[in-house]
Amino acid sequence: MLGGDLRVVQVRRLDAAGALLWSVGLDEHDDSSGAQVPRLLRLLAPPGKIKVDLRLRNVIAGKPPPSGAFLLGVPPGMKVEEVQ
């Protein structure tokens, strides 16, 4: 019988020979909201020599993000040209 604590902690992709293409690890889950949000994400992609550690702080779960949270502004000094 499975318990109530089911969460994804790692996802891996291998090539046909069994070599690791990439791996994503999720750790330090914050269960306070009941959403089981991981606070630490590790990405490894050995063929590209890529390693990323991303730590989330001040996570708010169960509420919509503030308006404009995912909008990217134009970097200073850049010119925007509309195309059709």
- Count of residues making up the chain: 84
The pLDDT-based confidence of 68 (bands split at 50, 70, 90) is confident
Residue 74, in any domain of the structure:
no
The CA distance from 41 to 11, in Å, is 11
Residue 34: partners with Cβ closer than 8 Å, 6 or more residues away: 61, 62
Number of domains in the chain: 1
User: pLDDT for 28-62, tens place per residue?
Assistant: 877 776 667 788 999 999 999 999 999 988 777 77
Radius of gyration of the chain (CA): 19
Q: Give the domain range for residue 34.
A: 10-55
- Supply the pLDDT for residue 84: 85
pTM: 0.59
What is residue 32's DSSP assignment? T
- Supply the pLDDT for residue 33: 66
Average pLDDT over residues 61-79: 84
Q: How many CA atoms does the CB half-sphere of 79 hold within 13 Å?
A: 2
- Supply the pLDDT for residue 20: 95
Residue 78, in any domain of the structure:
no
Residue 73, in any domain of the structure:
no
Residue 62: partners with Cβ closer than 8 Å, 6 or more residues away: 33, 34, 35
